[in-house]
Structure 1
Amino acid sequence: MRNRVWSVAAALTAAVVGVAGCDAVGGNSPAPSGTRAGSAAPSPTPVWDRSPGSVAAVGDSITRAFDACGVLSDCPEASWATGSSEDVDSLAVRLLGRARAAERSWNYAVTGARMADLPRQMARAVTRSPELVTVMAGANDACRESTASMTPVAAFRASFEDALHTLRRSLPKAQVYVASVPDLKRLWSQGRTSALGKEVWKLGICPSMLGDADALDAAAVERRATVQRRVEDYNEVLRELCAKDERCRFDGGAVYAYRFRVGQLSRWDWFHPSVDGQARLAEIAYRTVTAEET
C-alpha cells in the first residue's frame, strides 16, 4: 500500500510539473515581454524600394532625347528618364508625379558620352543624393569610326565598375536601374528604309554600324555582326556587375530586345528614339523598377 501511495503521489507531481512546464512556454500564459502571442516575426524591410523619392539620370544621347524634338539637338523634356513631356511620361513622372518630378529629378547624361565618361557623371549625380540613379550608356562605345575603334570589353567593364564605386562611396543605399544597350543592328535595319535618314547617317552617326548603309557584301555583313556581338558583350558586363549589387536592377535585356519600329525612331536621323520611342523606354524602366522581383 505504501508503495502504491508513493507511486500515485509521484505521478500527480509529474503531471503538475508537466502542465506548469507547458504553460511556461505557451498555453494560456502571457507571451514573453516584447512579443505578441500567436504573431509572426515582423517581415524584414525589402532592400529594393519600388517607389523611390528622387531620380538622377546618367548616360548618353538617348537619355538626353537627342533628335527627338528637333534636328541634331537635345530635347531633355522628352527624356525617358527625367523628362516632363506628357507624350513620354518619363520614369521620374511615373514614380514621383509630374509636379514632384520637376523638383526631384536631374539629368546628367551627355550626348556623345561613352562608358568612360560615366564616373564623372555619377560624381555629379551623387551631389543631389538621389534615391534612384538610372544608367543608359554603351551605344557610343560600339558606335565608332570602325570596329577596331570600339571600346574593349575590359575597359568598358572597368569604367562601369568605377562608376558604381563612385556612387557607393557616397550613397551606399542608393538604387540603380541599368538599361541594356539597344540593338544597333535592329536600328540600322529599320532606318535604312529612309533615303533621308541614310543621308543624315553620312554626317557620322554610328559609322561602325550605319556606314555604307545599303552595302550587303560579306565585309559589310561581318562589320555589322561584329558591332552587334560587341553590344551583346557590353550587355553581359552590365548584367554581371549589376547582379553583384543588391541595390542594382538590370532590365534583363529588355531595351536590347525591344523591336523599335520606324515610327519610334527620330524623323531627323532614323536612329535615335523619337518621342514615342522615348515613351517605350520609360515603360520598360518603370516596369523594371516597380516589379516585386527581378
Structure 2
Amino acid sequence: MPDSRRSRRVRATAALLAATALTLTASCESGGGHSAAGSSATKKPSPSPSPAWDRNPRSLAAIGDSITRGFDACTVLADCPEVSWATGSDAQVDSLAARLLGPEAPAKSWNYAKTGARMSDLPAQMGLAAAQHPGLVTVMAGANDACRDDVSDMTPVSTFRAEFQASLRQLRTVSPKSQVYVSSVPDLKRLWSTGRGSPLGKQIWKLGICRSMLADADDLGAAATERRAEVYRRVVAYNEVLRDVCAKDRACRYDGGAVFDYRFDGDQLSPWDWFHPSKNGQAHLAEIAYRAVTARR
C-alpha cells in the first residue's frame, strides 16, 4: 500500500477514536456515567434529626373544651376541673399531670380550656399556655366544631385546619421547645348511641347539647340518620386534620385515634347528660394520654 494512502487511513482512524473519546467524556460530565461530579450533584442533603421526645416533661398546660374542664362530671351543667383528665387533682382520676409531675403538679400545671370552646378559640388559649413555656401542652378540641345547632353550622374542614395550624405557630413563636399531645375528637355518634338509653340524659339533651347529633334522639328516620352520619364524617375529617398537622410538627404526638375509638359505656359517661365523660371516663382519658406521652417511639 502506498505511503500516502496508509498515512490517510491512520489519520482517519485516529480522528474516529478521538471523536469517540470526546463523546464518552461528554456523557459522563452530563450525568450519564458515575463520575464524582455527577454523584455529588444529585446527592440529597440529609434531613435534620428529630429532637428526642421527653417522656418526663416537667410542666404541663392544657387547652381545649368542656371535656378538659370536667364538665358535668361532678354536678349537672357545671365545670369540675379537679377531675380533669389533663390537670385534675382528684386521686381517683389520676390525671396526666399527676402521673407525670407527682407532688409538683399543682404548681407546674395550668388548665386554660374553656367549656364551649371551638378550634377558633385555640390560638388564644395556646398563647396563654405558651407564656408558661411548659414542657408539654395537651390539646383536646373539635367536638364543639361539630356540635352545632345545625349541620350547616359545623366548622368547615379547611377552616379547622387553618385554625389548628395557627395554634401551633403561636406556640412555636413563643415556646418552640414545648411538646404537644393531641387527642382525637371523640366519636359523637357512638356517644349518641350509648346515651340515648338514658331517659334523664335525653331530657338534658333537649336543653341544647350538641343538637346536630343529639336532637330528636329517638328519631331513626332517613333524614335524622343522614344528619348524624354527616356529623360523624365531619369528626373523622377533623381527626385527619389533627393527625396530619401534628405530623408536620417535630415535637407533636397525636393519639392515633385512641379517644375516637374508645367505647365509653354507662360508667364512663356523666350520670346527668350521658354525653360528657364521668369521673371514671376522665380517668380513662388520663390513661390514654399517659400511654401516648410516655411511649417509646
- Taking structure 1 as the reference length, the TM-score comes to 0.84
For 1:125 and 1:177, the matched residues in 2 are separated by: 13
Q: 2:105 — aligned with what?
A: 101
Q: Does 1:274 align with 2:270?
A: no
Aligned equivalents of 1:154 and 1:93: distance in 2?
A: 36
Of the candidates 155, 165, 168, which is equivalent to residue 161 of structure 1? Answer: 165
1:118 to 116, 119, 122: 122
Aligned to 1:219: 223
- List alignment gaps of at least 5 residues for structure 1: 1-43
Kindly state the Cα deviation for residue 46 of structure 1 after the two structures are TM-superposed. 5.2
Letter of the 1:53 counterpart: R
Q: Which residue of 242, 245, 252 maps to 1:241?
A: 245
Contact 2:204 2:273 in 1 (8 A): yes
Q: Which residue is 1:59 aligned to?
A: 64
Counterpart in the other structure of 2:139: 135
Tell me which amino acid in the other structure corresponds to 2:111.
Answer: N
AA of the residue aligned to 1:75: C
Secondary structure in 1 matching 2:87: coil
Give the number of the structure whose alpha-carbon radius of gyration is greater. Answer: 2
Residue pair 1:47, 1:246 contacting (<8 A) in 2 also = no
Instruction: State the Cα deviation string for residues 217-262 of structure 1 (Å, max 9, x = none).
Output: 0001100000000000000000000000110000000000000001
User: What's the CA shift string for 1:166-209, capped at 9, x where partnerless?
Assistant: 00001111100000000000100110000010000000000000
Q: What secondary structure is seen at the aligned counterpart in 1 of 2:61?
A: strand
Give the equivalent residue in structure 1 for 2:80. 75
Deviations 1:13-61, CA, capped at 9 Å, x for gaps: xxxxxxxxxxxxxxxxxxxxxxxxxxxxxxx995210000000000000
In the alignment, what sits opposite 2:211?
Answer: 207
Give the distance between the partners of 2:167 and 2:50, measured in 1 at CA: 27
Q: How many residues align?
A: 249
Contact 2:51 2:251 in 1 (8 A): no
Question: How much does 1:263 deviate?
Answer: 1.1
2:184 matches 1:180:
yes
**In the alignment, is the contact (CA less than 8 A) between 1:265 and 1:271 conserved in 2?**
yes
Opposite residue 129 of structure 1, the aligned amino acid is H
Displacement of 1:128: 1.1
Q: Report deviation, 1:289.
A: 0.2
Determine the C-alpha separation between the residues in 2 that align with 1:63 and 1:93. Answer: 15
The aligned amino acid for 2:87 is: T
Aligned match of 1:38: none
Could you say which residue in structure 1 is the equivalent of 2:288? 284
SS of alignment partner, residue 58 of structure 1: strand
Q: How many percent of aligned residue pairs carry the same amino acid?
A: 69
Distance 1:263 1:292 in 2: 31
Provide the TM-score with structure 2 as the length reference. Answer: 0.83
Corresponding residue SS for 2:107: helix
**Structure 2: tracts of 5 or more residues without a match:** 1-48
Secondary structure class of the residue paired with 1:128: coil
Name 2:30's counterpart in structure 1: none
Which residue of 2 is the match for residue 49 of structure 1? 54
Contact 2:247/2:253 (<8 A) preserved: yes
Deviation at 1:216, TM superposition (A): 0.2
Q: Distance in 1 between matches of 2:163 and 2:146?
A: 15
CA contact (8 A) 1:80 1:90 kept: yes
The Cα of 1:129 is off from its aligned counterpart by 1.1
- For residues 93 and 182 of structure 1, the distance between their equivalents in structure 2, rounded to whole angstroms, comes to 23
**SS in structure 2 of the partner of residue 249 of structure 1:** strand
| Counterpart contact for 2:51–2:250, Cα < 8 Å | no
Partner of 1:13: none
Q: State the AA in 1 paired with 2:187.
A: D
